[in-house]
């Protein structure tokens, strides 16, 4: 009998699944590839249905990073409430970099941001103004690893945060966020493992899913959530 995963340590990176949109009518090109690459994926796709990974093709990296920072280490409902209060400071929109830098520490704390996250979002705002966080057109033209290196140079921004930007805003098709708890837990359940793989092991195990690893991650999040009640929608994921 397989043992349940006993790792109860706090997991820094996880995804709260968004509400499912209406069933897709067009087959995602990743579906037949993943099904052919791995029989376990074929069965998972059969259970879950069409891939509904829907990147925001108009969003800017700055706003995507602000959202991702707010959702780090928080339940979806709590993060959504914080983001709502932050947007209320700017007439219901994500504050511009200029506006965000004018808000006092007390105002941002009043929205529910921790001191660490205040420092991080202000660093993102400054980096957007000075060009370190590129506009969408520039980001789309950059090599993936170059963009990751550039943005992770900022205080409080790790690889996972940039990977969420790459998948859900820039629509990069071949990103496998191996540090994500939901992805590693989904793989554990998919393969019937007793424990989750380490990030490097997971990266190696999923190489066969290239060039559609973003869609594979989408399915692994669903695998992790099977049998559970999903939380509220998470702007990071769509």
Catalytic residues: 180
Angstrom distances, CA of residue 3 to CA of 30, 116, 202: 32, 37, 19
Distance CA 92, CA 113 (A): 17
Q: How far apart are CA 51 and CA 38, in angstroms?
A: 16
Could you tell me if 72 and 157 are in contact, meaning their C-beta atoms sit under 8 angstroms apart? no
Q: Which residue has the tokens 């007439």?
A: 91
Q: Are the C-beta atoms of residues 50 and 27 closer than 8 Å to each other?
A: yes
* CB neighbours of residue 73 within 10 Å: 14
Residue 151 CA to its chain's centroid (Å): 15
Q: Which residue has the tokens 């399915």?
A: 219
Would you tell me the crossing angle of helices 39-48 and 181-191 to the nearest 10 degrees?
110
Whether residue 211 is preceded by a cis peptide bond, meaning omega within 30 degrees of 0, is yes
Task: State the DSSP string of 38-59.
Answer: -HHHHHHHHHH-S------TT-
């Amino acid at each position: 009998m397989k043992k349940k995963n006993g790792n109860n340590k706090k997991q820094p990176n996880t995804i709260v699944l968004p509400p499912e949109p209406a069933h897709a009518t067009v087959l995602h090109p990743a579906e037949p590839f993943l099904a052919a690459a791995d029989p376990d994926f074929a069965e998972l796709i059969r259970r879950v249905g069409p891939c509904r990974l829907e990147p925001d093709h108009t969003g800017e990296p700055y706003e995507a990073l602000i959202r991702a920072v707010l959702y780090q280490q928080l339940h979806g409902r709590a993060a959504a409430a914080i983001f709502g209060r932050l947007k209320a400071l700017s007439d219901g929109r994500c504050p511009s970099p200029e506006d965000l830098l004018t808000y006092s520490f007390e105002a941002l704390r009043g929205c529910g941001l921790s001191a660490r996250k205040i420092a991080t979002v202000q660093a993102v705002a400054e980096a957007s103004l000075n060009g370190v966080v590129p506009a969408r057109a520039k980001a789309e033209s950059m090599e993936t690893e170059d963009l990751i290196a550039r943005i992770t140079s900022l205080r409080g921004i790790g690889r996972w945060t940039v990977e969420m930007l790459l998948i859900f805003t820039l629509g990069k098709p071949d990103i496998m966020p191996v540090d994500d708890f939901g992805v590693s837990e989904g793989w554990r359940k998919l393969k019937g493992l007793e424990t989750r793989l380490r990030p490097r092991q997971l990266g190696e195990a999923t190489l066969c899913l290239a060039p559609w690893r973003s869609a594979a991650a989408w399915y692994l999040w669903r695998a992790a959530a099977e049998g559970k009640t999903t939380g509220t929608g998470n702007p990071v994921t769509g």
